[in-house]
């Protein structure tokens, strides 16, 4: 009897153990998508690709906990240069112009986590590439690698050595999440990603990655890294220059005729659309956005535009009507300007529809000049003069240029690309940042020192890193 009882017990145990299968939850929930099973076909991967651009676009909100993506980029780039400042020098936004940035600055943290989140979104696409059909796989790969390289290029220039995450990681992967890798290693990934994007992408798209966008970015990378590769940069520029882009005749149309032929890569926004609009345009006005006004034009930038801007000046800055001693950026005005013939891009300026232009053809032409100049301090090579002259002619400055110095080029970039978040990176690339910003800072009574050329790693990240993640000097 006892034996029979034992046999029953054993049978029950066997039965129970067989009833368990590999997956704890089976069948998988089919009513809602989940991270484990999504990105299983082309349609879902396409959504994953769009999700990356959505990350760059950022959330249009005033909550400091949201990721605002590129909408806060002007704070960490243009406002740290000699181009712009806050209107009233208040709050943590004023830390940028005063060069008194604290490691706990919320805007720095916003930008940092936004772009690591973009990298995460790109890594998800790359992780699931095998689920794509052969027709679309290489395009998905190219777009994801372009976006990842673009995000890393911004981060490495702003923060220096940074954690390098090239795959989807889990919370337990603390080591990779918080170990800073050398700039060289970051640039190695950026270069290989962009080369792959150039191989796999075609031209035609402006709000998404394209071959020309990857080529332009790589040209800039080659001239930014320690070991400058000017010849390759020139070849990349020339390839873009024979890809059908052109300068808009009227400078204003670059910004207010969206999708024009000068744009190579831009982040798209839709006016009056809570999900897809932007608020940076409103923040640049006088107390229209949440702030009382940021990214106001410095007297220094105004001078440069007045003296060297040509036709570009009127579409670059204007007098703030409410406060006539101060000057606002005209590029990206959300609510129109009848005097300048600019229409509003939305009825609600805090839900503006102005696209953010990341790369445009004028940038390429000036990069072309820079590549030809190379290590020299000036150039009179005809190809360089032609590219430079095209920019000057469009600006209504047709005097024939016969020689271009490095300073001429830097100045031309300043007035052509003012308030488009290029200035700080240009100063760094031209090896002029410390010299220029030290003088600028002295003139305005700010406290610049060389360690301000890198942002602090957000204190929150340092804390989470539990001692692994080291802070930049000076913070």
Alpha carbon distance 77, 67 (integer Å)? 17
Binding other proteins (rule: CB under 8 A), the pick from 44, 230, 320, 326 is 230
Cβ count near 245 (within 10 Å): 21
Binding other proteins (rule: CB under 8 A), the pick from 130, 339, 377, 400 is 377
Q: Which stretch binds other proteins (CB under 8 A): 46-54, 125-133, 166-174, 366-374?
A: 366-374
Q: How far is the CB of 406 from other proteins (least distance, A)?
A: 6
By the rule CB under 8 A, 468 interacts with other proteins = no
Binding other proteins (rule: CB under 8 A), the pick from 381, 397, 444, 468 is 381
Q: How far is the CB of 389 from other proteins (least distance, A)?
A: 16
By the rule CB under 8 A, 431 interacts with other proteins = yes
Integer-rounded Cα radius of gyration of the chain: 25
Q: Which two tokens stand for residue 363?
A: 């940038």
Binding other proteins (rule: CB under 8 A), the pick from 179, 250, 314, 434 is 434
Q: How far is the CB of 235 from other proteins (least distance, A)?
A: 5
Q: Which two tokens stand for residue 175?
A: 């080591």
SS3 404: strand
Q: How far is the CB of 448 from other proteins (least distance, A)?
A: 9
Letters for 321-360 (x = contact with other proteins by CB under 8 A, - = none) are ----------------------------------------
- The 8 Å CB, 24+ separation contacts for 305-308 are 305/415, 305/418, 308/411, 308/412, 308/415
Do residues 96 and 82 lie in contact, with contact meaning Cβ atoms separated by under 8 Å? Answer: no
Footprint of other proteins on 383-422 (CB under 8 A)? 383-384, 406-407
Alpha carbon distance 345, 366 (integer Å)? 29
Q: How far is the CB of 123 from other proteins (least distance, A)?
A: 30
Cβ count near 449 (within 10 Å): 12
By the rule CB under 8 A, 449 interacts with other proteins = yes
Q: How far is the CB of 231 from other proteins (least distance, A)?
A: 5
SS3 469: coil
By the rule CB under 8 A, 473 interacts with other proteins = yes
* CA pseudo-torsion sign 101, 220, 114, 55: positive
Binding other proteins (rule: CB under 8 A), the pick from 62, 133, 451, 463 is 451
Q: Which stretch binds other proteins (CB under 8 A): 15-23, 99-107, 187-195, 381-389?
A: 381-389
Q: Which stretch binds other proteins (CB under 8 A): 104-112, 318-326, 333-341, 429-437?
A: 429-437
Alpha carbon distance 34, 164 (integer Å)? 26
SS3 for 291-355 is: CCCCCEECHHHHHHHHHHCHHHHHHCEEECCCCCCCEEECCCCCEEECCCCEEECCCCHHHECCC
Q: 45-56 burial, b if ≥16 CB within 10 A, otherwise e?
A: bbebbebbbbbb
Binding residues (CB under 8 A) for other proteins: these are 230-231, 234-235, 238, 242, 371-372, 374-377, 379, 381-384, 406-407, 430-432, 434-435, 438, 449-451, 453, 473-474
């Amino acid at each position: 009897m006892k034996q029979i009882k034992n046999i029953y017990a054993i049978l029950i145990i066997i039965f129970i153990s067989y009833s368990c299968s590999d997956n704890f939850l089976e069948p998988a929930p089919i009513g809602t998508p989940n991270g484990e099973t999504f990105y299983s076909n082309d349609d879902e991967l396409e959504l994953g690709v769009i999700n990356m651009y959505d990350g760059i676009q950022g959330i249009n909100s005033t909550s400091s906990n949201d990721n605002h993506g590129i909408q806060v980029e002007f704070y960490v780039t243009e406002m740290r240069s000699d181009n712009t400042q806050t209107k009233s020098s208040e709050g943590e936004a004023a830390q940028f112009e005063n060069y008194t940035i604290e490691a706990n600055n919320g805007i720095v943290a916003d930008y940092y986590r936004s772009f690591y989140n973009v990298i995460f979104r790109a890594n998800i696409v790359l992780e699931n590439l095998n689920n794509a059909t052969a027709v679309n796989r290489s395009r998905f790969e190219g777009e994801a690698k372009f976006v990842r390289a673009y995000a890393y290029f911004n981060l490495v220039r702003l923060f220096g050595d940074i954690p390098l995450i090239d795959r989807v990681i889990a919370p337990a992967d603390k080591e990779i999440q918080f170990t800073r890798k050398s700039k060289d290693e970051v640039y190695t990934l950026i270069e290989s990603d962009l080369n792959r994007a150039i191989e796999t992408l075609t031209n035609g798209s402006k709000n998404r990655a394209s071959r020309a966008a990857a080529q332009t970015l790589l040209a800039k990378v080659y001239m930014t890294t320690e070991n400058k590769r000017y010849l390759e940069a020139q070849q990349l520029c020339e390839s873009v220059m024979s890809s059908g882009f052109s300068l808009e005749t009227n400078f204003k149309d670059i910004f207010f005729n969206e999708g024009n032929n000068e744009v190579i890569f831009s982040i798209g926004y839709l006016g009056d659309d809570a999900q897809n609009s932007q608020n940076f345009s409103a923040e640049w006005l006088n107390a229209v956005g949440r702030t009382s006004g940021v990214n106001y034009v410095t007297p220094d930038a105004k001078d440069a535009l007045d003296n060297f801007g040509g036709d570009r000046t009127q579409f670059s800055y204007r007098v703030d009507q409410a406060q006539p001693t101060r000057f606002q950026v005209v590029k990206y005005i959300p609510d129109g300007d009848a005097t300048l013939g600019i229409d509003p891009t939305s009825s609600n300026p805090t839900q503006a529809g102005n696209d953010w232009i990341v790369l445009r053809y004028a940038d390429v032409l000036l990069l072309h000049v820079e590549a030809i100049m190379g290590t020299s301090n000036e150039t009179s090579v005809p190809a360089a003069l032609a590219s430079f002259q095209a920019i000057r002619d469009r600006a209504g400055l047709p005097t024939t240029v016969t020689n271009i110095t490095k300073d001429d080029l830097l100045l031309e970039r300043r007035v052509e690309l003012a308030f488009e978040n290029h200035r700080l990176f240009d100063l760094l690339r031209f090896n002029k940042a410390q010299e220029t910003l030290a003088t600028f800072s002295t003139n305005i009574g700010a406290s610049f020192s060389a360690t301000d050329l890198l942002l602090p790693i957000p204190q929150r990240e340092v804390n989470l890193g539990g001692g692994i993640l080291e802070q930049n000097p000076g913070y």
